[in-house]
Amino acid sequence: MVSPKTLEVVKATVPVLEEHGNTITTVFYKNMFAEHPELLDIFNETNQKLGRQQTALATTVLAAAKHLENLEVLLPQVMQIGHKHRALQIKPEHYPIVGQHLLGAIKEVLGDAATDEIINAWAEAYDEIASVFIKVEADMYQNAMWSGFVPFKVVKKDITGSDIAAFTVQPEDNGFDVSKLPLKAGQYITVKTDPKDSDHIALRHYSLYSVDSSDGLKFAVRRDNKNAYRGLVSNHLHDNVKVGDTIYLSAPAGDFELNQSLIEQNDVPLAFISAGVGITPVFAMLEVQVKTNPKRPIIWAYACQNQEHHAFDERVNALLEQAEQVQKNTFYSEDNQRLDETWLKTLPNPADVYVCGSMAFMDSMIDGLMTLEHSGDNLHYEPFGPKMSLSAG
Ligand SMILES: Cc1cc2nc3c(=O)[nH]c(=O)nc-3n(C[C@H](O)[C@H](O)[C@H](O)COP(=O)(O)OP(=O)(O)OC[C@H]3O[C@@H](n4cnc5c(N)ncnc54)[C@H](O)[C@@H]3O)c2cc1C
Ligand code: HEM
């Protein structure tokens, strides 16, 4: 617990730091990477180049500082971030590096206004916040299905929905049997790659699209190309990684999961709303629901460009056929079919809703569902990017 004086100084200085948030963050990353270039192998290079996520870390420290006397209220957010940190293999020894450079950036940006009293108070506050993350992440390391990045061999690679490559991978170590891992639908694995188009190692998360690992772990990757820009890792996985090649994965992570207390009962319908490659985690959830309790009513809504881009269609249909009450809705944007607020109005309320897709899609779905007064407890979502970039955070 920090001292009352520290609490007072930190709370009094949060507004001025928030005001300079972007500059502090820019200075922080610049200095940290200059002194620790090895961290460029952990942070997402594209995010850095585009200035995306620049503020996530510093903004969260500032937000946490407002709750210094009661950090437990932030546990759900710390858990969500902790899953990502554990998946990326952020370790306790990384925290002092971030702390040192965050304080250094505050000093540099505030200049004379950053008195010793202010800097010491923030050092104490950062240590307190970091210790909460380190503790939560220690449990996650302890419970992870394996430690570090482990080599897997690609045993299968198919194309689905024209631009999505579905991979099945088996551990290279024959003594490591993945068929009995306690995988949860909604979890993601993290791939460590060394693309030739980059000077650095690149890490990316990919959701498991099935929890049936009898023939290996399964994930699917969409080529992520916007205009002239080619996504670094997705194109590398599409173009350079083939059956027989080795890739490195860290253990499944994440807290996007089916509400266990509702799976066995049939009063609250289950609604899966996804777009594009956002189908992956909800496809795994559909599989679990249908296998556990096929009687539960299921609403399946999927949006993509056209039939050619429709991912896993046959496999989804095969699962939906096993369910007893199904409403399936497909929206092809090329045919002007819109998965929008008008359609959301047709959803029963309450419904147990799971949403996954691009940031813009998720923002519009979550806003729409909230406007229609769906309870926050029944809304579950997984952005394929930093969660705090969504308006719902
Ligand atoms: C929890 C989670 C689960 C995920 N699950 C999946 C999944 O199941 N399947 C899946 O396919 N993806 C998934 N993702 C997304 C995935 O992790 C990657 O973000 C995605 O593959 C893009 O990575 P990339 O390296 O190919 O692209 P990046 O190089 O990171 O680029 C990202 C985007 O920015 C654009 N870009 C790059 N440089 C520029 C520039 N200079 N100017 C403008 N635009 C630029 C690229 O074209 C691309 O569209 C998931 C993400 C998370 C967080
Ligand atoms: C108390 C300290 C920290 C806070 C509050 C914090 C906060 C965050 C937040 C909010 C995110 C975004 C999560 C999301 O994607 O939804 C994130 C991601 C990330 N964090 Fe941290 N973090 C802290 C410490 C660290 C440390 C010590 C490191 C390693 C040096 C680190 C490395 C990363 C990386 C690599 C990502 C993924 C983003 C990217 O690659 O651009 N973080 N962190």
User: Which of these CATH numbers, 3.40.50.80, 3.30.2350.10, 3.50.50.60, 3.40.640.10, describes 260-389?
Assistant: 3.40.50.80
- CATH 2.40.30.10 assigned to 150-253: yes
Active site residues per annotation: 95, 137
Q: How confident is the model over 310-318, as a mean pLDDT?
A: 96
Nearest CA to ligand 1 atom 44: 229
Pocket test for ligand 1, best of 159, 189, 226, 240 (most atoms within 8 A of CB): 226
Q: pLDDT by residue (tens digit) across 10-67? A: 999 999 999 998 899 999 999 999 999 999 999 998 887 777 656 678 888 988 999 9
Residue partners of 190: CB distance under 8 A and separation at least 6: 87, 88, 149, 203, 204, 205, 206, 249, 250, 253
Query: Do residues 204 and 146 touch, judged by C-beta distance below 8 A?
Result: no
CA distance 207 to 287: 14
- Over the chain, what is the mean pLDDT? 94
Residue whose CA lies nearest to ligand 1 atom number 34? 231
Q: For ligand 2, what atom is nearest to the CA of residue 61?
A: 5
| Nearest CA, atom 43, ligand 1 | 229
Q: Where in the chain is the domain with CATH 2.40.30.10?
A: 150-253
Ligand minimally distant from the alpha carbon of residue 209: 1
Q: Ligand 1: which residue has its CA nearest to atom 32?
A: 231
* Residue 134 in contact with ligand 2 by CB distance below 6 A: no
The DSSP result for 256-280, as a single string, is ----HHHHT-SSS-EEEEEEGGGHH
Report which ligand 2 atom has the smallest distance to the Cα of 203.
40
Residues of the chain with CATH 3.40.50.80: 260-389
Which residue is it, tokens 């806003």?
Answer: 367
> What pLDDT sits at residue 155?
98
pTM of the shown model: 0.97
Q: Which residues line ligand 1 (CB under 6 A)?
A: 44, 46, 49-50, 188, 204-207, 219-222, 224-226, 229-235, 254, 277, 280, 382, 384-385
Residue 187 CA to residue 252 CA, distance in Å, equals 6
| Mean pLDDT (whole number) for 307-316 | 96
pLDDT at 298: 98
Output the six-digit token pair for 285.
Answer: 């959830």
φ, ψ of residue 128 in degrees (nearest 5): -65, -45
Is 166 in contact with 158 (CB distance < 8 Å)?
yes
With 0-12 / 13-18 / 19 or more C-beta atoms within 10 angstroms meaning exposed / middle / buried, residue 208 is buried
Q: Ligand 2 pocket check: which of 25, 52, 81 to mutate, most ligand atoms within 8 Å of Cβ?
A: 81
Q: What are phi and psi of 125, to 5 degrees?
A: -65, -45
Residue 226 pLDDT: 84
Nearest CA-CA partner of 295 in 316, 323, 275:
323
Q: Note the ligand closest to the C-alpha atom of 311.
A: 1
Both tokens of residue 117? 């009293």
CA angle 207, 208, 210 (to 5 degrees): 145
All CATH 1.10.490.10 domain ranges of the chain, comma separated, are: 4-143
Nearest-angstrom CA–CA distance, 368 and 154: 40
Q: Strands, E, within the chain: which ranges?
A: 150-160, 164-171, 188-193, 202-207, 217-222, 225-226, 229-230, 246-253, 270-275, 298-304, 326-332, 352-356, 379-381
Pairwise CA distance, residues 355 & 273, whole Å: 5
If we measure between CA atoms, which residue out of 120, 123, 210 comes closest to residue 168? Answer: 210
What whole-number distance in Å separates Cα of residue 282 and Cα of residue 241? Answer: 25
CATH level 2 (architecture), domain 4-143: Orthogonal Bundle (1.10)
**pLDDT band at 125, cuts 50/70/90?**
very high
CA angle 210, 213, 214 (to 5 degrees): 130
Position in ligand 1 atom list of the atom nearest CA 235: 26
- Closest-CA residue, ligand 2 atom 36, reads 43
Q: Which one of the ligands is nearest to 60 CA?
A: 2
pLDDT digits (tens, 9 = 90+) for 235-257: 999 999 999 999 999 999 999 99
